[in-house]
Structure 1
Amino acid sequence: MASYRGRLNEVCCPQHPDAHLIEDYRAGDQICSECGLVVGDRVIDVGSEWRTFSNEKANSDPSRVGGAENPLLNGSDLSTIIGPGAGGVGFDAFGGSRYQNRRSMSSSDRALINAFREIANMADKINLPKAIVDRANVLFKQVHDGKNLKGRSNDAIASASLYIACRQEGVPRTFKEICAVSKISKKEIGRCFKLILKALETQVDLITTGDFMSRFCSNLGLPASVQKGATHIARKAVDLDIVPGRSPISVAAAAIYMASQASEDKKSQKEIGDIAGVADVTIRQSYKLMYPRARELFPDDFKFFTPVDQLPQL
């Protein structure tokens, strides 16, 4: 009885609580394998709605019907479409279809689906996870329903929504990275970014040099010691106010250049600029500000392959 009481919330045979239950899918019953008692009836079949005839139809799989429910669409994308009539019932006297679909999808849902598809395509190109795609979809939906950015293209709003989603999820991407996978200019994405923040009354955390350091160093193939040194250099340069007014991306790129030049794995300004999305001259300007105080920027445990006094003077 003790084991039976512990399983009151489960469907089991009262006489044989540990017995395996056999499911009769045709009748919707659950039967005890020991005594044959029907312990559950009218069980809902959660299997496929149709059998799969994969050998007969190579290009289609009728194991499921309809698309997945999308809560971001009006009506959760549940709509009714009238199929072709059978026999003469579905046709009028002139042979035309008696019942017609006026509109299978609203223009609002069509715009949302196109935007969601564009966001998914952009995210796939730069390997962003589904959590960021879902957040970007919600942001676009809020802007679309509020009609806050009239006159702006949906592609621009979608690109800005993806940029904001990356910032809010703690894995920021640069405007140039979003622009590279989008059809919208960097200037237009920046405008939509500011308008969305204002319209939704939301905010994003300020980006820092550490947000990009691991990704840039990984793409450059630099070891962990160089990444650690570059992170320390960039943080120290910001704390000492050596690079006032410089963007975190350019400071991170200059720090990577300085750390790599002091190590065995040297990288050129062009290599770093291509990965970071900044021009060579931008890296050079930040590096010139950091070079005079290079000794105090490096961490104490950094292993120099090239001494500080032999670093390039640009």
Structure 2
Amino acid sequence: MIHPTQETFINEHKCINCEGESFVNDMETGEIICRGCGMVLQNVEVRLDMEWNAYTVDEVMNKSRVGGLLTHNIYDRGLSTQFDTRKDYQGKSLDLQTSNKMNRLKRYDNQSKMYDSKNRNLKIALSELERIATSLHIPGFLKEKAAYIYRKALEKDMIRGRSIDEFVAASVYAACRLENVPRSLQAIAKASQRDYTQIGKSYRMIVRELGLKPPIDGPVKFLPSIVSSLNLDRSVELVALNMIRKAEERGKIAGKNPKAIAAAALYLACVESGVNKKYGAICNAAKTSEVTLRKRVHDLQA
């Protein structure tokens, strides 16, 4: 079968070498060759469209001859072959004896894949990653990033003798930091059901050993979550945002806790906007102490 673009070429072109108009289409190599001088005028073109009809998702998957994209979210990156234990290649049901045999082969195949300790580690870790991602509503690209970070840590033998779950949580936090996704360490620790101080240690180890350079969190990043917790209006948030911008220009908040700065700016914005919010409520929303909040309020007023 001649590709449409090749057929157009044959009908509309002349040989650039001898100006001949007679061509041969080599079906094996996909090349178009001039009959007069033998010059190859066009190479094979790979057709990327489907040459078969499919009307449902299942039909597309069954007729496709390629697998899905490679992913770090599967312990073998999706490269292993999966075989059906109930139907043959024609879609016909297997008899009971053959089906039992295929089940045994599938079990042996799974056991052989788990012989490697790293594969066993990855299977446990990626299952935990899926659980945390579901709990925190983490998008797919971030889950992929976290899985990649964990794999790198595993390659460097950083997890030997340490908690898999803590390193998974630390990898999720590292991915969030690198992609500027607002997920606090406390929220990730709660989702993973692990101590956040231990997760923090694992995170710092990952950053140090893998040479990661996460961007520094600023106060602006924490404003939306605090505003949401306090049910404040957008106008109050904009006033607080303006205060933070001015304080940054003056260099008054460099090196200070960004979450406390955000809380202090919101407190002053509430006062300026006539919204009654006490210190205690803002401290609870920002998870900071009243002493720290008062100090940061003083910094913004200076």
Instruction: Give the TM-score of the pair, scaled to structure 2.
Output: 0.65
What is the alpha-carbon distance in structure 1 between the residues aligned to residue 275 and residue 148 of structure 2?
43
What is the alpha-carbon distance in structure 2 between the residues aligned to residue 47 and residue 163 of structure 1?
41
**Which of residues 255, 261, 273 is equivalent to 1:263?**
273
Alignment partner, residue 71 of structure 2: 71
What letter corresponds to residue 186 of structure 2 in structure 1?
A: K
What is the alpha-carbon distance in structure 1 between the residues aligned to residue 104 and residue 203 of structure 2?
49
The answer as to whether partners of 2:237 and 2:266 remain within 8 angstroms in 1 is yes
What is the alpha-carbon distance in structure 2 between the residues aligned to residue 275 and residue 122 of structure 1?
23
Cα offsets for 1:85-108 (capped at 9, x unmatched): 95667999xxxx986833504253
**Which of residues 165, 189, 192 is equivalent to 1:179?**
189
Q: Give the superposition deviation at 1:127.
A: 3.2
What is the alpha-carbon distance in structure 2 between the residues aligned to residue 162 and residue 83 of structure 1?
36
SS at match of 2:271: helix
What is the alpha-carbon distance in structure 1 between the residues aligned to residue 214 and residue 193 of structure 2?
24
1:253 aligns with 2:255: no
What is the alpha-carbon distance in structure 2 between the residues aligned to residue 252 and residue 10 of structure 1?
64
TM alignment of 1:27-66, pairs within 5 A: 43-46=51-54
TM alignment of 1:283-294, pairs within 5 A: 283-291=293-301, 293=302
What is the alpha-carbon distance in structure 1 between the residues aligned to residue 259 and residue 145 of structure 2?
24
The answer as to whether partners of 1:82 and 1:99 remain within 8 angstroms in 2 is no
SS at match of 2:78: helix
The answer to which structure has the higher helix fraction is 2
What is the alpha-carbon distance in structure 1 between the residues aligned to residue 187 and residue 98 of structure 2?
57
**Which of residues 143, 152, 160 is equivalent to 1:142?**
152
Cα pair distance change 1:11/1:140, threshold 3 Å: farther
CA RMSD of aligned residues (A): 4.1
What is the alpha-carbon distance in structure 2 between the residues aligned to residue 100 and residue 80 of structure 1?
8
Instruction: Give the TM-score of the pair, scaled to structure 1.
Output: 0.63
Cα pair distance change 1:78/1:48, threshold 3 Å: farther
What letter corresponds to residue 102 of structure 1 in structure 2?
A: Y
**Which of residues 279, 286, 289 is equivalent to 1:279?**
289
The answer as to whether partners of 1:69 and 1:78 remain within 8 angstroms in 2 is no
Gaps of at least 5 residues in structure 2 are: 9-49, 87-93
Gaps of at least 5 residues in structure 1 are: 1-6, 13-41, 52-61, 294-314
What is the alpha-carbon distance in structure 1 between the residues aligned to residue 201 and residue 78 of structure 2?
31
Cα pair distance change 1:102/1:136, threshold 3 Å: same
Cα pair distance change 1:281/1:91, threshold 3 Å: closer
Alignment partner, residue 11 of structure 2: none
SS at match of 2:107: coil
1:102 aligns with 2:104: no
Cα pair distance change 1:131/1:100, threshold 3 Å: closer
What letter corresponds to residue 43 of structure 1 in structure 2?
A: E
Cα pair distance change 1:215/1:100, threshold 3 Å: closer
Identity of aligned residues (%): 23
What is the alpha-carbon distance in structure 1 between the residues aligned to residue 248 and residue 258 of structure 2?
9
What is the alpha-carbon distance in structure 2 between the residues aligned to residue 231 and residue 50 of structure 1?
50
SS at match of 2:141: helix
What letter corresponds to residue 152 of structure 2 in structure 1?
A: Q
The answer as to whether partners of 2:219 and 2:258 remain within 8 angstroms in 1 is yes
TM alignment of 1:210-229, pairs within 5 A: 210-229=220-239
What letter corresponds to residue 157 of structure 2 in structure 1?
A: K
